[in-house]
Structure 1
Amino acid sequence: MKVLLVFPNRVQRNFKDIEAGIAPKERLYGFYELMKNPDYTILDSDSRFEGLSNKVIPFLRGYGINLVDLKTVFKIAKVDVVVVKDNVSSMVSAAAALFGKPVVYYDSLFPIPQMKIKQFFLKRCLASCTRIVGYNHQQVEDYEQKLGLSLLPKYKHLEFLLDEEFYNSVFDNAPEPTEHDYLLSIGRDVGRDFATLVKASEQTGVKVKIVTLPYLLNGITLPDNVEILQNISYEALFTLYKGARGVVVPLKKGLSYASGIRAIMESLVLKKPSIVSNTPFVENNCLDYPNIIPVDPENVAQMVAAIEHVYRSDDNLDEYESELPSYAQTHREISQMLAELR
């Protein structure tokens, strides 16, 4: 079976990093194993626009027009299935319809855009696709209601699972930290609510390390006990995890998409207590995780109480064992879904 992967990051680079042991298998979302399976021929869209075109593309993307280069279009004609990760693409959908190829949109449901032109392209891409793969039923229902589409019959639900073997190995081999007993918060998407965490840290005086992008902290005054980090390696990240007393995943109100899921899962795999804002996604998917301490979103008082609980608690971290299926389930479910599209 021939499958074309239209991924935001270069497939071959990620494959080589996984092979070298410097990246986890979920970096390819279940397709790493299929790339090594002789029953599949995996093509990629690693070619990119260059020169002036590369400057125009981000502008068009701002209006919901996500283009791919001609090499990728020609590949669509050669494969059995096209899998698009992240942003939907009307160009991919149109080319696939022309060649009679099924399109799978994988983790492509972000906050529903307000711009009518974005909704126009989004609605047509989702209406014409064959499958939608994601991590949250609620988000699909929200899209159905907002866009007037029937999407649940197309929906394939996956658990967001991590390559535990990789994470445990990197964690064990990471250098010992020079600091301990701080809270760690990691996040690079607009769903993060660092303002509430910073206010709670001021009230408790607890040391907090935040790994993020500077623009997500605009308008937030940082006290001396909050340190900001960015662009750190896996090794440095897991050294931070080693020294952390706990993890905080502060999220904004009303998020139905899977914001924070990687940080939540990392804390579970690495057996760290995790203070998490109870968004609709978290409520529907994560509250049974043994390390989760839920708080209402944007509630400073509850965040303070949760932080104090983490520092009072003498829980045995070995009790934070997950009963989630292993990461191997991901590629098996992807393979099963592709078989249904033959």
Structure 2
Amino acid sequence: MRVLYLYAGSRKAFYEKWERGEVPDTQLLGLNYMERFGIDAKFIEWRLPEFLRRISFNLVHLPYIFAIKKYDIVFICAGLPLVFIAKKILHWKNPRFVIYNTYLANALRRHPRGVLHWFNKKAIEGLDVIVCTARTQMPPLIEAGIASEKIKFVPIGIDARKFVGARGTDRVFQSDYILSVGRDLGRDYKTLFDAVRDLPVKVIVATKTEAIAGLIVPPNVEVRFNVPYEEMPALYHNALFVVTPLKSTNNSIGSETSGQYGYLEPMAACKAVIATDKPVVRDYIENEKTGLLVQPENPAALRAAIERLLRDKQFGNQLGNTAQVYVLVHFTSERWARSLSEIFKSLM
């Protein structure tokens, strides 16, 4: 079986770093495990698609339209136009298309009628399997008329071993800053900034310029732009704890699953995590057991949770230890890859 990975973002340089052992394998989405499961998986990356990415991430896969014919399955993270052309215009039975879904319900919601709605609906119907990493992604697709048997819930996985450190110590609270990580526009840094303003503690936010555009950064917050992924494990390990603030479910900006890496990676690093209470998050964090969940867009509630962890170090250490075990059992790259390989094999 031949599987082609078409990533939404560039992976060539990242893959080379992973081969050298410099970065966690999380962003390979299981490709590096496929040989172990009897699958010949490859990814391709040409120069022209990288140019198209600057226009729209959905256009990036179009130049591969004829290259995909020699594969049994194409695993995509975006690229509905490619699916539409292959399935609805050229009427190809093969290759089969499997998508890692981070945005399909939002795409339908943003365009509830008209040509774009019709196009999105037809392209989604052309997918053979839709992999959702949150259960709440599934009902909107079914309500839109997408066949339920195509929709699978598979918990996302991370390269947990790259984030695991020595356990059973108080190192969670040995450093002097709170950390928040994430470049996705689904992050709610406004609420975070309002919550930590005037707190006697340093906060580091690792993000991109667009994610904090128009916001006033408090004096105790240090923003670091475009932090290399290879530096993230150390950044987590040296933090007091981690906050993952997310916009409410009703806000369709950004990824539907925004924040998953942002709380799973520090959990693997044995860090206590505070995250916004959203249905998508509850698939991964149990409140008061593997993390703290706070009401969306509520700076007072977020500040209270932060002050609680600053005050109760033993509780924070307990949260971190429990969370680390939970991630190592349920949310690893290998576990994700195994589930994905089973989906690929079911299509043959």
2:238 alignment partner in structure 1: 243
Contact 1:271 1:291 survives alignment (8 Å):
no
Gaps of 5+ in 1: none
Confirm or deny that 1:334 pairs with 2:340: yes
Partner of 1:245: helix, strand, or coil?
coil
* Separation of aligned partners in 2, 1:235 and 1:37: 25
Gaps of 5+ in 2: none
Q: 1:165 aligns with which of 161, 165, 170?
A: 161
Confirm or deny that 1:45 pairs with 2:7: no
Alpha carbons of structure 1 residues 332 and 239: separation in structure 2 relative to 1, 3 Å: closer
Q: 1:195 aligns with which of 178, 185, 190?
A: 190
Contact 2:6 2:44 survives alignment (8 Å):
yes
The superposition leaves residues 87-108 of structure 1 with CA deviations (integer Å, 9 ceiling, x where unpaired) of: 2322334225633111111124
1:81 alignment partner in structure 2: 73
The superposition leaves residues 54-96 of structure 1 with CA deviations (integer Å, 9 ceiling, x where unpaired) of: 36x644x38x656521xx22222211111112x2322334225
1:9 alignment partner in structure 2: 9
* Separation of aligned partners in 2, 1:250 and 1:67: 31
2:321 aligned partner, one-letter code: D
Confirm or deny that 1:98 pairs with 2:91: yes
2:142 alignment partner in structure 1: 144
1:126 alignment partner in structure 2: 124
1:313 alignment partner in structure 2: 312
2:258 alignment partner in structure 1: 259
Contact 2:83 2:127 survives alignment (8 Å):
no
1:143 aligned partner, one-letter code: L
Q: 1:68 aligns with which of 62, 79, 82?
A: 62
* Separation of aligned partners in 2, 1:160 and 1:305: 29
Confirm or deny that 1:301 pairs with 2:297: no
Partner of 2:164: helix, strand, or coil?
helix
2:120 aligned partner, one-letter code: L
Contact 2:102 2:257 survives alignment (8 Å):
no
* Separation of aligned partners in 2, 1:66 and 1:47: 10
Alpha carbons of structure 1 residues 301 and 151: separation in structure 2 relative to 1, 3 Å: farther
* Separation of aligned partners in 1, 2:337 and 2:2: 16
What does residue range 188-227 of structure 1 map to in structure 2 within 5 Å?
188-227=183-222
Partner of 1:185: helix, strand, or coil?
strand
1:262 Cα deviation (Å)? 0.3
1:28 alignment partner in structure 2: 28
Partner of 2:180: helix, strand, or coil?
strand
1:203 Cα deviation (Å)? 4.5
2:101 alignment partner in structure 1: 107
TM-score, scaled relative to structure 2: 0.83
Alpha carbons of structure 1 residues 9 and 253: separation in structure 2 relative to 1, 3 Å: closer
* Separation of aligned partners in 1, 2:333 and 2:110: 35
2:154 aligned partner, one-letter code: L
Contact 1:212 1:230 survives alignment (8 Å):
yes
